[in-house]
């Protein structure tokens, strides 16, 4: 599924320098929350790309920016090579039909006042995908089938509270699929589901990517699930993208100290140790008017004076693998990377 050489027009989404700052406090308060700073990554056609990060990393905000639920402070979002931010002030209907989103909370993302049928009907009607009751209903049943919910007629008549968490997420996917999108943004779609249900939903995502040729942006804090379904993984910390690589390479050869910390913290019964060394203390820094330099500096075991002053630029350390860390400044560039 993965191909390491991407030609420019093979990128369905190309995000450059995306930045979002929120004002905090009242109108006289000049402070700002730097939720996302200078995020740059791309989603190749028909691939699954992940944003991995913990709370405060900015990953959900990034997804909402791409979904155009909020507008960025700076940066470009190129969809099929066209900067949609410049092109359309508000998201156009055609953008909405191409870029869809599934949310984290299965209990909040479906309107409790509507049946499944109504929920799936609306996008079809808005984007005029079907004509007439029968065609609409057939399409709804088809969608329910695609996401593995059945019998379709029964499920369509239900209200969200009658479905389990896993079933609701599948309905959410069905809704997103109804407009035949090209890009799916999935914001922690399985975090709130039971463990045994997650596999099914993750497999569904993989299947949709394969069968329907969808590109996915999968947002999660669980790096293991990222490796499971994603081709490429991007790591975010405190609003910054700090590392990006092909998923298995990231897990096997992490470069950034934060990535290493993240990997060491994942519970791994295979490791056989009771408790592992915790290498750092401290927490994610405040995002309000952050100091210059690398945000991980306060916690980094390898911190150097330059780290507190200058944010490291992205450096490619192997094909398709870049990292923003002063430890790698001046590393010889191996070959042509992304």
Q: Which H or E element spans position 62?
A: helix 59-66
When the beta carbons of 18 and 171 are compared against another protein, the nearer one is 171
CA distance 180 to 175: 10
CA distance 273 to 29: 49
Contact window for another protein (CB under 8 A) among 33-41, 269-277, 287-295, 305-313: 269-277
Judged on CB neighbours under 10 Å (0-12, 13-18, 19+), 305 is: exposed
Q: How many CA atoms lie within 13 A of 63 on its CB side?
A: 27
Token pair 């470009």 is found at: 76
| Binds another protein (CB under 8 A): choice among 25, 111, 210, 291 | 111
Q: For residue 225, what is the DSSP state?
A: H
CA distance 121 to 140: 7
34 alpha carbon, distance to own chain's centre: 18
Residue 314 engages another protein in binding (rule: CB under 8 A):
no
CA distance 280 to 266: 15
Q: For residue 307, what is the DSSP state?
A: G
When the beta carbons of 2 and 310 are compared against another protein, the nearer one is 2
Q: In terms of residues, how long is the chain?
A: 338
| Binds another protein (CB under 8 A): choice among 109, 136, 234, 244 | 109
CA distance 62 to 19: 9
| Binds another protein (CB under 8 A): choice among 203, 302, 313, 333 | 203
When the beta carbons of 212 and 264 are compared against another protein, the nearer one is 264
Sequential DSSP letters for 138-198: HHHHHHHHHTT--SHHHHHT--GGGS-HHHHHHHHHHHHHTT--SEEEEESTTTTS-HHHH
| Binds another protein (CB under 8 A): choice among 75, 166, 293, 312 | 166
CA distance 2 to 45: 10
Sequential DSSP letters for 211-222: HH--EEEEEES-
Contact window for another protein (CB under 8 A) among 34-42, 98-106, 307-315, 321-329: 98-106
When the beta carbons of 195 and 336 are compared against another protein, the nearer one is 195
CB of 299: closest distance to another protein in angstroms?
A: 9
| Binds another protein (CB under 8 A): choice among 49, 110, 241, 255 | 110
Residue 2 engages another protein in binding (rule: CB under 8 A):
no
CB of 308: closest distance to another protein in angstroms?
A: 21
CA distance 243 to 255: 8
When the beta carbons of 149 and 219 are compared against another protein, the nearer one is 149
Binders of another protein: how many residues, by CB under 8 A? 81
When the beta carbons of 266 and 304 are compared against another protein, the nearer one is 266
CB of 326: closest distance to another protein in angstroms?
A: 21
| Binds another protein (CB under 8 A): choice among 42, 50, 104, 136 | 104
Which 238-267 residues touch another protein, going by CB under 8 A? Answer: 248, 251-252, 261-267
Residue 207 engages another protein in binding (rule: CB under 8 A):
no
When the beta carbons of 252 and 309 are compared against another protein, the nearer one is 252
CB of 224: closest distance to another protein in angstroms?
A: 4
Which 14-73 residues touch another protein, going by CB under 8 A? Answer: 54-55, 64, 67, 69
Which 167-186 residues touch another protein, going by CB under 8 A? Answer: 167, 170, 172, 175, 179
CB of 237: closest distance to another protein in angstroms?
A: 10
Radius of gyration over every alpha carbon of the chain, rounded to an integer in angstroms: 21
């Amino acid at each position: 599924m993965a191909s390491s050489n991407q030609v420019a027009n093979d990128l369905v989404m190309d995000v450059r320098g995306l930045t979002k700052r929120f004002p905090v406090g009242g109108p006289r308060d000049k402070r700002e929350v730097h939720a996302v700073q200078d995020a740059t990554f791309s989603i190749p056609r028909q691939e699954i790309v992940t944003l991995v990060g913990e709370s405060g990393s900015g990953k959900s905000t990034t997804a909402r920016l791409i979904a155009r639920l909020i507008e960025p402070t700076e940066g470009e979002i190129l969809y099929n090579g066209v900067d949609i931010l410049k092109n359309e002030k508000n998201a156009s209907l055609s953008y909405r039909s191409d870029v869809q989103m599934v949310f984290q909370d299965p209990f909040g993302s479906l309107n409790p006042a509507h049946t499944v049928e109504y929920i799936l009907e609306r996008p079809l009607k808005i984007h005029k995908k079907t004509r007439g009751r029968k065609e609409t209903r057939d399409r709804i049943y088809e969608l329910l089938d695609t996401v593995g919910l059945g019998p379709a007629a029964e499920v369509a008549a239900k209200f969200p509270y009658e479905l389990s968490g896993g079933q609701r997420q599948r309905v959410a996917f069905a809704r997103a699929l109804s407009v035949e999108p090209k890009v799916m943004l999935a914001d922690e779609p399985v975090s709130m589901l039971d463990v045994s249900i997650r596999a099914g939903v993750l497999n569904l995502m993989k299947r949709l990517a394969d069968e329907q040729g969808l590109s996915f942006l999968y947002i999660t804090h669980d790096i293991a699930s990222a490796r499971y379904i994603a081709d490429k993984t991007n790591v975010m910390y405190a609003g910054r993208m700090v590392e990006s690589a092909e998923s298995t390479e990231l897990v096997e050869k992490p470069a950034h100290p934060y990535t290493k910390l993240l990997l060491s913290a994942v519970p791994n019964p295979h490791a056989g140790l009771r408790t592992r060394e915790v290498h750092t203390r401290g927490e994610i820094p405040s995002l309000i008017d952050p100091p210059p330099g690398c945000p991980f500096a306060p916690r980094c075991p390898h911190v150097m004076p330059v780290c507190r002053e200058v944010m490291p630029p992205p450096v490619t350390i192997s094909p398709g693998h870049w990292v923003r860390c002063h430890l790698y400044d001046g590393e010889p560039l191996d070959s042509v990377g992304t």
